[in-house]
Amino acid sequence: MTDRIRFGLVGAGGRSDFFLRIARRMPKHFEVVCIQVRDPVKGQAYANRWQVSVVNTLPELLEREELEFVLVSVSQPAAAEVIASVASTGMPVLTETPPGQTVAELEQLTALTHNGAHIQVAEQYQFQPLHAARIALARDGRLGDITQAQVSAAHGYHGVSLMRRMLGVGFQDATIHAFGVESSLLASRRRSARPAADQFEASHQILALFEFDSGQSGLFDFTWDQYWSWVRAPRVLIRGTRGEIVQDRIAWLRDSQTPMSLPLERVDGGRLGFLEGYHHHGIQVGEEWIYRNPTVPARLSDDEIAAADCLLRMGANVRAGGRFYDLAQGAQDQYLTLLIEESMRTGAAVRSRPQAWAG
């Protein structure tokens, strides 16, 4: 077996482009063996653009013996069916989020995993450098028992995943109170284009309070402008019985009379005349590396680093027979997101219940 992780890809949208760019920038680590694109014309254009093998049907893709797993990167309405089609053949699946849109779809996929299907979820936010460092610090004991996480960093299931990981609540049930707020914001950056002139637009914010059975609490807070706005910054607070993390600083009590405070220091190469080339090394707290970038020396954004980390973990775990963020975790994230939407729609608190994947 080659040292490179060799995988197939289903889909030809923007997220497929995202993973192909990562593979192109890390050729010693990844090889995209083949891509399935249903539309022959679009498939040929994709083959020409990326210089990769493209087929039009799933059986053709799965015939490729070199595949270690298949990455499913299709639209949300199509995802569960494609995942099931691949996983039912015994091929390991890494799927984009969410793995299913409805509880029924998540239950159907769960039944496959109970029969041995290997389905992992590319929930990358937990592997972004600063988030990964925060999660590691929440686990290392200096904050004491974690009591609260306030996360305003990502939408829907991504934000819920971060909150769950920072709290360490697993599949605990919770009462959820959610509502929306609308305000006005001067438009600036956007995904596709910038406004030609100053104009104010509606800014939509979602807030959801989670009260977990453990007594821990979580606040999900996301404004859709955050991904692109110059002035809507992400915010994270993690509180424990001995201290807290606020943004990129940790403060804790070593004992009742000894307060400690340190920054989460980002270390990048290629700055200030250093000639090693621009890339991210990791994050330090004091003398300790809390996070090390597994993609050095590839020149990647934080989100690309996180997605590459998912691919690396999937490759390692397929070869070793393990798991890193399995279907159950991704299903719980989506389930809680659906409950946020229900609470917003009804104006009432909702209560989560144990689900099939949490058994």
CATH number at residue 73: 3.40.50.720
Count of positions (residues) in the chain: 359
Tell me which of 340 and 229 has the higher pLDDT.
Answer: 340
Rounded Cα distance, 206 and 343, in Å: 11
Tally Cβ neighbours within 10 Å of residue 325.
Answer: 23
Q: Which domain holds residue 163?
A: 126-301
Are 27 and 68 part of one and the same domain? yes
Are 253 and 109 part of one and the same domain? no
Q: Give a yes or no: residue 266 inside a domain.
A: yes
Tally Cβ neighbours within 10 Å of residue 198.
Answer: 8
Q: Give a yes or no: residue 59 inside a domain.
A: yes
Boundary residue ending a domain (285, 301, 317)? 301
Q: Measured between alpha carbons, how far is residue 323 from residues 70, 161, 258, 317 in Å?
A: 15, 16, 40, 6
Average pLDDT over residues 135-157: 98
| 151 has pLDDT over 60 | yes
- Can you tell me whether residue 65 is helix, strand or coil? coil
Contact 154, 162 (CB under 8 A): yes
Average pLDDT over residues 59-65: 96
How high is the pLDDT of residue 2?
60
Boundary residue ending a domain (90, 121, 152)? 121
Are 91 and 154 part of one and the same domain? no
Residue with tokens 């915010």: 235
Rounded Cα distance, 63 and 47, in Å: 18
How high is the pLDDT of residue 1?
44
* Least confident segment among 184-193, 289-298, 309-318: 184-193
Question: What rounded mean pLDDT belongs to the chain?
Answer: 95
Rounded Cα distance, 73 and 93, in Å: 11
Query: Looking at the 3D structure of the chain, how many domains does it have?
Result: 2
How high is the pLDDT of residue 120?
98
Q: Give a yes or no: residue 218 inside a domain.
A: yes
Q: Domain holding 241: CATH number?
A: 3.30.360
pLDDT digits (tens, 9 = 90+) for 22-32: 999 999 999 99
Are 84 and 221 part of one and the same domain? no
Q: Measured between alpha carbons, how far is residue 147 from residues 46, 150, 177, 217, 240 in Å?
A: 48, 10, 18, 6, 5
Q: Give a yes or no: residue 195 inside a domain.
A: yes
Q: Give a yes or no: residue 323 inside a domain.
A: no
Are 295 and 150 part of one and the same domain? yes
Going by pLDDT thresholds of 50, 70 and 90, the confidence category of residue 187 is: confident
Q: Looking at the DSSP assignment, which residues form a beta bridge with residue 200? A: 186
Going by pLDDT thresholds of 50, 70 and 90, the confidence category of residue 167 is: very high
Closest to 278 in 3D by CA, of 304, 296, 264: 296
Q: Give a yes or no: residue 357 inside a domain.
A: no
Are 288 and 151 part of one and the same domain? yes
- CA 313 to chain centroid: 13
How high is the pLDDT of residue 189?
73
Q: Give a yes or no: residue 359 inside a domain.
A: no
Q: Measured between alpha carbons, how far is residue 337 from residues 68, 271, 283 in Å?
A: 31, 40, 30
Contact 125, 133 (CB under 8 A): no
Are 140 and 259 part of one and the same domain? yes
Residue type, 253: L
Boundary residue ending a domain (276, 301, 326)? 301
Contact 258, 150 (CB under 8 A): no
Are 82 and 136 part of one and the same domain? no
Are 187 and 294 part of one and the same domain? yes
Q: Give a yes or no: residue 353 inside a domain.
A: no
Are 55 and 98 part of one and the same domain? yes
How high is the pLDDT of residue 305?
98
| 276 has pLDDT over 90 | no
How high is the pLDDT of residue 212?
99
